[in-house]
């Protein structure tokens, strides 16, 4: 392995939910020469925290657009590793499709080109479990493995863009760079990421608040993995260490890894209830309408959206992909990451649940205070 001091790392999406955790771990544990933080927006509190953590590591903040080719090329000059977490996550069908495809796919391609141009030998991509599906209610996948090669069959912008971007990243592994070094890449596929600051968890909580603090149940028997954000961040650090080891990189390069942890597999609604029940949230009664009927309603809405597309952008309230994602049996093992990267979840389920629940309590208190202020 190269001496740690010779490593400098660019983290894209560094101001985001996952990116900021990765930066914290890099600052706390890796002793790098420089960390470059790339994102469009950073909160002042986050920048202050990073400056207090930096110690001997140079921290460079780069505010800009990943679609700006010259900006990205300059960001990659003189660095030895990239951790690419920047992404647009969108479950919709029409409204932001072109934007999502552009950022997630073209942005990744521009970053890869910049790395090749600047002879950056290590590239780690934050993918998603959605590149594997699910594609059918009938196909139950439990403890899925990387060698089973599941692949997304949906045209929705998010899973499609992540799948294409991941393929581009893995395809350049082994490429000879200008300075004579070899480029090594890998991709991490996290499950549904939760934890303090999760916008998607907050979105589900707000929906439940509108429904008298009740979560709408998923299809009976549906289960999925949820993974704590701190454990996903730790997996990225281990991937960086592995790819910087010239011997390990030969076997790890070009590979993808599912990242889950010891959070008990359960339906999304059951999970949301589990982390919020301390604050009075409830789980609703069983759905009376068959999921297959809801699926065909979603199909009709998608057809209407498609036919209206030339004259009007209609975004259906739900679509088949999100129905499939939240109502299937779809879980994956982290055994390959454990074997190749030495990955073990750092944060237990009990600790992760406690931290997440405490954060929810703070968010609910802030919401109540805000409502008081508005009505007073």
Active-site option among 158, 192, 228, 334 = 158
Active site (annotated) includes residue 228: no
CB contact set of 35 (below 8 Å; sequence gap of 6+): 8, 9, 10, 11, 23, 26, 27, 54, 57, 58, 59, 60
Please identify every residue annotated as catalytic. Answer: 158
């Amino acid at each position: 392995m190269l001496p740690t001091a010779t490593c400098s790392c660019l983290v894209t999406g560094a101001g985001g939910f996952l990116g900021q955790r990765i930066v914290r771990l890099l600052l706390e544990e890796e002793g790098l020469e420089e960390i470059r933080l790339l994102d469009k927006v950073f909160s002042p509190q986050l920048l202050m925290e990073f400056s207090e953590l930096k110690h001997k590591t140079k921290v460079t903040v780069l505010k800009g657009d990943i679609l700006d080719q010259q900006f990205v090329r300059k960001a990659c000059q003189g660095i030895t590793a990239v951790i690419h977490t920047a992404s647009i996550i969108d479950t919709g069908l029409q409204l932001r499709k072109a934007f999502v495809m552009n950022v997630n796919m073209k942005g990744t391609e521009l970053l890869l080109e910049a790395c090749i141009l600047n002879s950056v030998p290590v590239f780690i991509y934050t993918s998603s479990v959605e590149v594997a599906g699910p594609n059918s209610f009938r196909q139950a996948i439990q403890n899925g493995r990387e060698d089973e090669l599941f692949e997304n069959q949906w045209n929705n912008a998010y899973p499609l863009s992540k799948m294409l971007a991941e393929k581009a990243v893995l395809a350049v592994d082994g490429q000879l760079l200008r300075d004579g070094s070899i480029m090594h890449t890998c991709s991490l596929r996290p499950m549904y990421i939760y934890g303090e600051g999760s916008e998607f968890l907050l979105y589900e909580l707000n929906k439940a608040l509108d429904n008298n603090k009740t979560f709408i149940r998923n299809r009976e028997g549906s289960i999925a993995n949820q993974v704590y954000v701190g454990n996903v961040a730790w997996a990225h650090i281990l991937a960086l260490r592995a790819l910087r080891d010239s011997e390990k990189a030969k076997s790890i390069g070009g590979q993808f890894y599912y990242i889950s942890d010891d959070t008990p597999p359960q339906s999304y609604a059951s999970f949301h209830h589990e982390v919020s029940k301390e604050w009075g949230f409830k789980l609703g009664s069983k759905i009376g309408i068959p999921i297959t009927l809801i699926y065909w309603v979603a199909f009709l809405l998608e057809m209407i959206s498609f036919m209206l597309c030339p004259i009007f952008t209609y975004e259906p309230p739900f679509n088949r992909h999100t129905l499939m994602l939240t109502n299937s049996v779809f879980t994956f093992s982290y055994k390959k990451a454990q074997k190749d990267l030495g990955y073990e979840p750092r944060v237990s389920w009990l600790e992760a649940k406690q931290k997440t629940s405490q954060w929810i309590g703070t968010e609910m208190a802030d919401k109540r205070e805000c409502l008081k202020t508005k009505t007073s």
